[in-house]
Amino acid sequence: MTKKRAIFLDRDGVINKKAKEHDYIKNWGEFEFLPHAADTISQLNKKFLVVVVSNQGGISQGLMTADDVNSIHANMQSELEKNNAIIDKIYVCPHYIKEMCACRKPEPGLILEAAKELNIDLPNSYMIGDSLIDIEAGKKAGCKTILLADTSAAREAKPHFTARSISDILYLVN
C-alpha cells in the first residue's frame, strides 16, 4: 500500500487564535478561527491528509473535559466543512507537562500514532506549528517542519521553513 503524505497542524495558534498565556480554549465560544485557515486547509486537502496534533493539558488539570475538547473539535470540523476544508483526523494529548508522557509535544507520540494508523510517509510530510515544541516533535518524528512565527523564534527552533501565517505555507509545501 502506498504511503500518504500529510500535513500535521498544531491547533491553537495555527488554526485558531491562542488563549491567553497559561490558559486554554475551553469551549466553542472561546474558539476563533485565524484568517485564511479554512481556505488554506481546503487547498492542502488537494495534496495531503490534514491531521491535527494538539496538546490539551487543561484536561488533566480539570480545567475542561475530554468531552469539551471533542465538542470544540466537532464544531471546528463542521465549520471547516462549510468551506470544503477537511481535517482527516485529530489527535489530542490530554496530559499536563509534568506527566512526562510520550504523546505530549515535543515528544513525537501523536505524530507517530497518526503515521501508523493512517499509513503516512513521514519524510515527505510536514509538521506546522507556532512553537518550538511543535518543531521539535516534527523533527523527532522525521517530518519537515514549518514554524509560524517571527524570526527570533525561528533561529532558536531551526525549522526547515518559516512562514508568517498559515496561508503562507502553501508556497512552501509541494
Q: Which residues carry out catalysis?
A: 10, 12
Phi, psi of 162 (to 5 degrees): -125, 155
Dihedral sign computed on CA atoms, order 11, 15, 21, 26: negative
**Does residue 89 contact residue 117 with C-beta atoms inside 8 Å?**
yes
Closest CA to 169 of 139, 133, 125: 125
Sequence letter at residue 36: H
Q: Rounded CA gap, 85 and 139, in Å? A: 26
